[in-house]
């Protein structure tokens, strides 16, 4: 890889041994992909994936401490994924014991490290950092060193920024030296679609189910989706962005998609159209039957598949302000229609702290609270990431949460019915 | 016995028993619970991967097409290496993905005494040929012998 004078000097130790190791890490990472050079990180902020002070992740905190001890700092401030625990979220005595005494014992220590390294603010903990209220929304063409699969795919696809699917730790390395290796989704060639996905459904496809189907099919390739604008429009308004947020998270977690193009909607597809499709691209047709097939094949790993759900999580990735408002209306109306006053299953809606702050200023907050739904800034995945929750029948409309935990996936309509009318 | 030639991502030599997945290996889903709760065998916990779910990964020759899933994947792999609970080697039939590469590189640069050779581009024939329980030997030049 070609390194300029400054980069080579860092690699040779001009800024100390630790900085040299950081540069070596990035160079080796780039070499694995044939990167010919490093390019400057141009976004205002970074986003890190590691938000949790898990006792077992000691090697991560040791590495962070090496950086701090060497006086190394991130060149950018950064947001970070959601906190793992929140006392507002229902948990029994045993769960609280496991969370606080066994699992997340390093939380305060790690948050201290994050502050020293350049945390944007005390409430910059969310996976949906690109939402307006959070304040970490890159510009089109910006080069990022982000991690968090759902944020990376959103930044690339919806915002037109350029970012590879960086891993945790690798994310902050780019911010520290201010450069990232130039390969993959940073390049024009790497952004070309090698799959054409045709949407031929008779109704609007469920975002997280469609994303799951595409992710499992194309894996880490770039899909060019034709026919979705019929259902979600040709403007990136709040509704379309929310849909793509949830769709993208499922493509990234059920597969490894870092970028998708939606014909006649996302920025590069609007600019370049079908010229973005690489020669020899494969084809995948989405029909109602195909989505049904994908959903029917999800494994059910509850001990009792017919168990009554004990908890419902919505908001993985975190919900937007409009989503919270829309769901307030939907839950209220469905409860009224069913003759119930409050939800029948303990239900948690998760959103960024800054979004919750805005939501709490509206009259929707009191209305949602009256339905019994709890709001939280938590990461549902981190909450469920223990053997106690593995035995718990949890439902969700998040395909990401389904992938990583024992939570069972239902469509939004099915979730609404379950929490307002009962049933499974 | 067959030989396959791949590309060395991180160097090293080893010989170990194969565990094989023909679908994408979700590092977070596979390893998180095992690492968190002290499973020294690092048994795979990915419910969506019937080929590997429940099988030990530590000390095995993990044969896979690529890794998929969350971007915590690389740091989970790094932690597994730092805790000495990593596979003996990782053998990719396809080009390595950015998350696995990050984990391998982080381990190589920041962990002491780590030996987890990573070879990619071994080809579709490799992943079709190798089966659970076969003995896999990794040589320094990226040659992988499956017996």
DSSP line for A91-113: --HHHHHIIIIIISTTHHHHHHH
Instruction: Give the H/E segment covering residue A44.
Output: none
Contact between A49 and B73 using a beta-carbon 8 Å cutoff: no
pLDDT reported for residue B47: 84
- Alpha-carbon distance A373 to A23, whole Å? 47
When pLDDT is cut at 50, 70 and 90, the band that residue B36 belongs to is confident
Q: Which residues of B touch A152 (CB under 8 A)?
A: 71
> Cβ of B99 and A167 within 8 Å?
yes
Distance from CA of B136 to the nearest CA of A (A): 23
Please tell me the predicted confidence (pLDDT) of residue A210. 98
- Tally of domains within chain B: 1
Rounded to a whole number, what is the distance in Å from the CA of A217 to chain B's nearest CA? 11
Please tell me what DSSP assigns to residue A80: E
* B-proximal residues of A, 323-362, CB under 8 Å: none
How close A176 gets to chain B, by Cα (Å)?
Answer: 15
Q: Is the pLDDT of residue B12 over 70?
A: yes
Quick one: residue A408, left, alpha or beta (phi over 0 = left, psi -120 to 50 = alpha)?
beta
Closest to A256 (Cα-Cα) out of A230, A280, A214, A220: A220
Signed CA dihedral, A396, A401, A402, A406: sign only: negative
Q: How many CB atoms lie within 10 A of CB A243?
A: 23
Structural domain span for residue B16: 2-146
Out of A24, A152, A219, closest to residue B66 by CB: A219
B29, B76 in Cβ contact below 8 A? no
Find chain B residues with C-beta within 8 A of A252's C-beta.
Answer: 69-70
The verdict on A152 touching B (C-beta cutoff 8 Å) is yes
Name the strand (E) or helix (H) holding A418.
helix A412-421
Give the torsion through C-alpha atoms of A90, A93, A97, A98, to 10 deg. -60
Say yes or no: A28 contacts chain B, CB-CB below 8 A: yes
DSSP at B85? -
**Cβ atoms A236, A265 nearer than 8 A:** yes
pTM of the model: 0.93
Q: In the prediction, which pLDDT does A245 show? A: 98
Could you tell me the CATH number of the domain that includes residue B14? 3.50.30.10
Binding-face residues of A in 224-263 toward B, CB within 8 A: 252-253, 255-256
* DSSP secondary structure code for residue B87 in this structure: -
For an interface test with B, give the residue of A21, A80, A168 to mutate (most B CBs within 10 A). Answer: A168
Q: Is residue A167 within 8 Å of B99, Cβ to Cβ?
A: yes
Whether residue A33 and residue B83 make contact (CB cut-off 8 A), yes or no, is no
Question: Looking at residue A199, what DSSP letter applies?
Answer: E
Identity of the residue in B68, B83, B102 whose CB atom sits nearest the CB atom of A219? B68
- Sequence ranges of the domains in chain A: 38-186, 191-296, 311-421
Cβ proximity of B113 and B86 under 8 Å? no
Residues of B with Cβ-Cβ distance to A66 under 8 angstroms: 110
What residues in A contact B43, CB-CB < 8 Å?
none
Is it true that A38-186 and A311-421 share their CATH fold? yes
Instruction: Give the model's pLDDT for residue A198.
Output: 98
B4-16 residues labelled b (16+ CB within 10 A) or e (exposed)? bebebbbebebeb
Region A311-421: CATH code: 3.30.499.10
Does the distance separating the beta carbons of A219 and B24 come in below 8 Å? yes
* Of the candidates A329, A316, A292, A126, the residue with the CA atom closest to the CA atom of residue A213: A292
CA distances (Å), origin A355, targets A122, A321, A325, A369: 14, 6, 11, 16
| Contact state of A167 with B98 under an 8 Å Cβ cutoff | yes
CATH fold of the domain at A38-186: Aconitase; domain 3 (3.30.499)
Contact A248, A257 (CB under 8 A): yes
Q: Is A65 helix (H, G, I), strand (E, B) or coil?
A: helix
> What per-residue confidence (pLDDT) applies to A424?
52
**What string of pLDDT tens digits covers the 424 residues of chain A?**
999 999 999 999 999 999 999 999 999 999 999 999 999 999 999 999 999 888 888 999 999 999 999 999 889 999 999 999 999 998 888 888 888 888 889 999 999 999 999 999 999 999 999 999 999 999 999 999 999 999 999 999 999 999 999 999 999 999 999 999 999 999 999 999 999 999 999 999 999 999 999 999 999 999 999 999 999 999 999 999 999 999 999 999 999 999 999 999 999 999 999 999 999 999 999 999 999 999 999 988 888 889 999 999 999 999 999 999 999 999 999 999 999 999 999 999 999 999 999 999 999 999 999 999 999 999 999 899 877 887 789 999 999 999 988 999 999 999 999 999 986 5
User: What is the C-alpha separation between A409 and A397, in angstroms, rounded?
Assistant: 5
What is residue A423's predicted lDDT score, i.e. its pLDDT? 63
Q: Which residues on A lie below 8 Å from B103 (Cβ)? A: 167
Are the CB atoms for A142 and A43 separated by under 8 Å? yes
Q: Give CA separation, A167 vs A256, A289, A338, in Å.
A: 12, 35, 46
User: Between chains, do B69 and A253 touch, taking CB under 8 Å as contact?
Assistant: yes
Answer whether A199's CB lies under 8 Å from A228's CB: yes
What ipTM was estimated for this complex? Answer: 0.93
Separation of alpha carbons A146 and A128, rounded Å: 12
Peptide bond into A317 cis (omega under 30): yes
CA distance B56 to B43: 4
Question: In terms of Cα–Cα distance, which of A375, A316, A351, A383 is closest to A54?
Answer: A383
């Amino acid at each position: 890889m070609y390194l300029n004078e400054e980069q080579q000097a860092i690699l040779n130790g001009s800024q100390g041994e630790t900085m040299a190791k950081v540069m070596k890490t990035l160079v080796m990472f780039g070499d694995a992909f044939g990167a010919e050079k490093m390019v400057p990180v141009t976004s205002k902020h970074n986003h890190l994936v590691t938000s949790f002070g898990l006792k077992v992740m000691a090697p991560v905190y040791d590495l962070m401490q090496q950086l701090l001890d060497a006086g190394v700092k991130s060149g950018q401030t950064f947001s970070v994924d959601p906190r793992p625990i929140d006392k507002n979220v229902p948990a029994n005595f045993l769960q609280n014991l496991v969370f606080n005494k066994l699992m997340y014992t390093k939380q305060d220590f790690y948050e201290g490290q994050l502050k020293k390294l350049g945390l944007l603010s005390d409430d910059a903990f969310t996976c949906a950092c690109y939402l307006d209220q959070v304040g970490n929304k890159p510009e089109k063409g910006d080069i990022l060193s982000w991690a968090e699969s759902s944020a990376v795919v959103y930044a690339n696809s919806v915002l037109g920024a350029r970012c590879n699917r960086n891993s945790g730790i690798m994310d902050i390395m780019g911010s520290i030296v201010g450069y990232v290796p130039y390969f993959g989704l940073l390049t024009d060639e790497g952004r070309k679609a090698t799959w054409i996905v045709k949407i031929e459904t008779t109704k609007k496809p469920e975002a997280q189910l469609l994303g799951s189907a595409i992710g499992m099919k194309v894996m880490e390739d770039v899909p060019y989706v034709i026919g979705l604008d019929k259902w979600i429009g040709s403007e990136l308004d709040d509704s379309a962005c929310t849909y793509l947020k949830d769709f993208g998270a499922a493509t990234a977690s059920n597969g490894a998609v870092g970028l998708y193009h939606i014909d006649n909607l996302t920025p590069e597809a609007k600019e370049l159209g079908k010229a973005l499709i690489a020669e020899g691209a494969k084809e995948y047709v989405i029909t109602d039957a195909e989505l049904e097939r994908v959903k029917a094949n999800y494994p059910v790993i509850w001990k009792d598949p017919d168990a009554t759900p004990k908890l419902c999580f919505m908001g993985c990735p975190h919900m937007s302000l409009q989503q919270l408002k829309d769901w307030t209306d939907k839950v209220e109306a469905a409860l009224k229609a069913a003759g119930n006053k409050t939800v029948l299953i303990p239900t948690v809606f998760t959103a960024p702290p800054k979004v919750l702050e805005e939501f709490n200023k509206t009259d929707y907050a009191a209305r949602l609270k009256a339905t019994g739904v709890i709001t939280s800034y938590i990461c549902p995945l981190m909450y469920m990431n223990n053997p106690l929750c593995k035995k718990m029948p949890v439902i969700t409309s998040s395909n990401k949460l389904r992938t990583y935990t024992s939570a069972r996936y239902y469509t939004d309509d099915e979730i609404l019915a379950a929490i307002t009318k009962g049933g499974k | 016995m067959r030989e396959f030639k791949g590309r060395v991502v991180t160097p090293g030599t080893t010989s170990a028993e194969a565990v094989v997945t023909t679908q994408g290996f979700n590092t977070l889903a596979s390893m998180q619970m095992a690492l968190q709760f002290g499973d020294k065998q690092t048994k795979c916990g990915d419910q969506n991967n019937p080929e590997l779910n429940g099988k030990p990964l530590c000390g095995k020759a993990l044969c896979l097409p690529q890794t998929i899933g969350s971007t915590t994947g690389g740091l989970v792999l790094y932690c597994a290496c730092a805790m000495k609970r990593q596979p003996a080697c990782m053998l990719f039939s396809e080009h390595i993905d950015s998350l696995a590469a990050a984990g391998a590189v982080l381990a190589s640069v920041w962990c002491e005494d780590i030996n987890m050779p990573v070879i990619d581009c071994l080809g579709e024939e490799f992943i079709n040929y190798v089966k659970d329980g076969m003995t896999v030997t990794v040589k320094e030049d990226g040659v992988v012998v499956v017996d």
